[in-house]
Amino acid sequence: MKCDILKNNTINDKDFLKLMTVHHKAAVDMSKLISKTSKNDIILDFSRKIIFNQSKEIYLMNTLLTDTELLINNNKTINKPLNNIFENHYPYVFKNLKCDESHFNFNSHKNHNMNDYEYVNHMISHHNTALLLSKLIIESTKNSQLLILAQTINMDQSKEIFELYFLKKSLKNHWMNKFVPFKDFKN
């Protein structure tokens, strides 16, 4: 599904904050669900990081949303996304990712019991949507705090897509399902 939300290739500060808050909330909720069912330590660690980091960003975005008019920086600067080593050096990881409207609505996944593979696969696509949205606001905002937040989202979620890509490959090959660390270790 294509994102009508991103069709204009522009976004204003308030719309970005509202959309990204909902988007992060969906990721937090999905991560809470998988943390109840997964037995995989890597998935559990990843989902806890999502819950922690994106909950902090939701708080920050809600604060910025209430103070948006007060924080505008009127400097006439041209913003561009930071050089992203993950996207530049590993384009095959990012090349076929698409935006999906459901990434802005948790209710479409609310009653879905995802397994580890489905969670990882979905989070790759979900993070890509955040990348697309953050790149739009980076190029248009005059708010320095929002610019820093969007650059952080861009870099963090690119790194996580890279990690998730290889986690997806390992789950597909089932080596993690068979791997038992310290199986010969006795107390």
Q: Domains, the chain, ranges and CATH?
A: 4-176 (1.20.1260.10)
Q: Measure the CA–CA gap between 138 and 55, rounded to whole angstroms.
A: 21
* pLDDT at 48 (0 to 100): 95
Answer for the pair 161, 32: CB distance below 8 angstroms, yes or no: no
| Lookup result for tokens 């789950």 | 171
Q: Measure the CA–CA gap between 152 and 81, rounded to whole angstroms.
A: 10
* pLDDT at 166 (0 to 100): 85
On whether the pTM is more than 0.85, the answer is no
Q: Measure the CA–CA gap between 142 and 78, rounded to whole angstroms.
A: 9
Stretches where the chain sits below pLDDT 50 are: 1, 70, 72-75, 176, 180-183, 185-187
Answer for the pair 47, 38: CB distance below 8 angstroms, yes or no: yes
* pLDDT at 36 (0 to 100): 92
* pLDDT at 187 (0 to 100): 43
Q: What is the DSSP string of 98-151?
A: ---GGGG-GGGTTT----HHHHHHHHHHHHHHHHHHHHHHHHH---HHHHHHHH
Answer for the pair 61, 21: CB distance below 8 angstroms, yes or no: yes
Q: Measure the CA–CA gap between 140 and 166, rounded to whole angstroms.
A: 33
| H-run or E-run covering 70 | none
What angle, 0 to 180 degrees and rounded to 10, lies between the N-to-C axes of helices 144-172 and 13-37? Answer: 30
